[in-house]
A and B are shown apart, each in its own frame.
Chain A
């Protein structure tokens, strides 16, 4: 098992390296850089350019140097000093901007994954065990629709319903009256009251997808000879289902963590804007629009790393759960 973990962690390193190069390449794509944009803007507005400050920034980030020099300056600061660079637009260190928002994104993602599991598990099992029942058809239909509706539409509809029928917008994560307040029970309840909206919105597509996977897997497993063999040993139906096919069919719950995380982070970028959440998504959008390269690059890098870590966790869980994975690849 230890060997398996070590090997799996080792695989991550080249992936992470390529991801960092790619993230940096993307933010380097637009012609010019943030400073040229600023200079141009200031000149249009007739403002003055502080050449000394510009030069200092240029030197620090190696602007004007070759791609690899700039990349090295950027990545070495991140790896060795956890310094993600400077946000030109906010005029603050990127790491300072990220803190809270990243925590919220991660917290929301975890809540959403739990939500997806809680909903997908019973429905998936029900649909497989009662294949072709009315309930199965209904859930399959709902699943299809869940996959077809863009999640920002769900967000918009929920917002609209909230405003129309409850007279308040369910956006944001805290009500204005608690915004600056210290944490107490009232604020906690308020946050929980708001939390369900993004969780439902983010989780719909993932839930629909996971239900389908779980149902198909379980149906496959139910037809396996070892299920008949276990039945022929006299095992009660319920115990048999839980112990044998369900155990194998559960694999997607863990193997899809990475994939679900990727889709959640994607959803974050789009939905949080509608829901008015202070997560990393809207920050990335704004940074991209403003060509705030270090902020944008760091955000892309961090989302990718989060997904890679999610995949790692899911692989480790799989190895722990499935002796085939553990024993075949663990040597």
Chain B
């Protein structure tokens, strides 16, 4: 039971050693703690981690953006207007002549006679009215139904475009591209981690369950996989993918290749936990109780480290996201027309591009925010994962 410092707690004769269990931020009645299952204790202890909580909220928001990308992005993935190559970001104005009203200013361009490059000016005299829930390109929401409303966009779909975060070389809207990229980048992390988790828990679990030579072999494999440099290997494997494969095939090939290597760390974790828990007296007690072996594994052993596994998974997702970004950046990962943060950043490779259009680096900011919040979240979860310290 927990009492905020300074606040006098009521006297009770609760024994030592039961106090620490899942201390919540505010006093939770003793009766409630006594009947609280593990997830509740984990949650109480996780809640006290401000940074981790914030990380968790941001993570959820990012995944929501990924799911609702079609609705949130002003434009579809394929929309572009090459007249507006490298158009700079526009400021969204909220007040129009003293009244509420959304609009952005239009552009004027000038061509450099020598380099033929366009230089852009915001034209304060032009007003492009912007609205909420406007009609635009059609998309499928949640993969279920087709809709054409967008959260924000120019009121006149046929009029001048809106580039809140600027445009790229072909006149794609960066904001829309980043939002669409969220789905791919974040799902690669998730799918890749689930794959490597399946591999890791199967092999690590086999290692821990059977022991003996199977354990020996799997351990050697894990040691080997952990000891080789991952990026050259990923590069080699990605380069081996046939050029004619479509975006979806490439996507899956990438996740499989990423997880082929990153399962090892998870596998080692699972095996270690397996061995640790197998030696606990409550597992022996289950044997004496006559509990069947599958039930011992699935009811007694596995649940006692699921929270650790979840924490480890959430810490593995950012590594996957970074790997995808890096591989796509050098052209070995995903490729256009697939849009991911890495693919977007590939266009920002040249220092000249960055000089003329620094907003091309904005997908990098998305990467940083996503990785940072996942790391905070995972870190807090790992700390809260074992509420039974005594």
Contacts and interface: CB of A to CB of B under 8 A. Distances in A.
B237 interface: yes
A149 B366 CA distance: 10
With a 10 A CB-CB cut-off, give which of B230, B232, B239 has the most chain A CB atoms: B232
A160 B230 contact: no
Interface string A18-39: 1100110011011100000000
Interface in B196-221: none
Interface in A1-59: 15, 18-19, 22-23, 26-27, 29-31
Given A19-B228, A26-B236, A307-B228, A150 B330 contact: no
Interface stretch (B136-144, B174-182, B290-298, B368-376): B368-376
A101 B64 CA distance: 45
B231 interface: yes
Nearest to A27: B236
Interface centre among A152, A164, A169, A284 (most CB of B within 10 A): A152
Contact of B239 (A159, A267, A289): A289
Given A15-B224, A145-B368, A164-B355, A300 B242 contact: no
B355 A148 contact: no
6 contacts: A19-B224, A149-B368, A160-B351, A266-B230, A288-B332, A307-B228
Interface in B217-273: 224, 227-233, 235-237, 239-240, 242
A150 B231 contact: no
Contacts, number: 127
A150 B325 contact: yes
A291 B236 CA distance: 10
Residue of A18, A269, A306 with most chain B CB atoms under a 10 A cut-off: A269
A266 B228 contact: no
B232 A269 contact: yes
Contacts of A262: 227-230
Interface string A137-180: 00000001101111011001101100110000101000000000
A145 B51 CA distance: 13
Given A159-B351, A160-B354, 10 more contacts: A15-B227, A19-B224, A144-B372, A150-B329, A153-B345, A153-B367, A163-B355, A262-B228, A266-B231, A299-B232
Interface residues of A, number: 51
Nearest to A11: B223
B265 to A, nearest CB: 11
A41 B74 CA distance: 43
Contact of A148 (B235, B240, B351, B375): B375
A307 B354 CA distance: 34
A7 to B, nearest CB: 15
Interface in B303-341: 318, 322, 325-326, 329-332
A58 B364 CA distance: 45
A255 to B, nearest CB: 13
Interface residues of B, number: 37
Given A145-B368, A149-B368, A289-B239, A270 B231 contact: yes
Contacts of A269: 231-232, 235, 330
B101 interface: no
Interface of A: 15, 18-19, 22-23, 26-27, 29-31, 144-145, 147-150, 152-153, 156-157, 159-160, 163-164, 169, 171, 258, 261-263, 265-267, 269-270, 273-274, 284-285, 288-289, 291, 296, 299-300, 303-304, 306-308, 311
Nearest to B379: A144
B51 to A, nearest CB: 9
Given A148-B318, A311-B227, A303 B242 contact: no
Contact of B232 (A258, A261, A265, A274): A265
Nearest to A289: B239
Contacts of B242: 30-31
Nearest to A137: B51
A156 B357 CA distance: 13
Nearest to A262: B229
Nearest to A264: B229
A18 to B, nearest CB: 6
A173 B330 CA distance: 20
Nearest to A162: B351
A254 to B, nearest CB: 16
Contact of A26 (B233, B354, B376): B233
Query: Interface centre among A18, A144, A265, A311, by most B CB within 10 Å?
Result: A144
Contacts of A157: 361
Contacts of A171: 351
A54 B194 CA distance: 46
A230 B233 CA distance: 48
Contacts of A23: 236
A160 B224 contact: no
Ranked nearest first, the 7 interchain pairs of A and B with the lowest CB-CB distance are A266-B231, A29-B240, A288-B239, A26-B236, A148-B371, A262-B229, A148-B372
A69 B361 CA distance: 48
A163 B351 contact: yes
Interface string B348-390: 1101001100100100100110011001100000000000000
Contacts of B358: 160
Contacts of B233: 22, 26, 300, 304
A24 to B, nearest CB: 10
Contacts of A304: 228-229, 232-233
A320 B233 CA distance: 32
A311 B224 CA distance: 12
Contact of A285 (B235, B237, B348, B354): B235
Contacts of B364: 149-150, 153, 156
Nearest to A145: B372
A292 B376 CA distance: 42
B224 A148 contact: no
A31 to B, nearest CB: 7
Interface centre among B224, B235, B332, B348 (most CB of A within 10 A): B235
Contact of B236 (A144, A152, A296, A306): A296
A284 B232 contact: yes
Contacts of A30: 239-240, 242
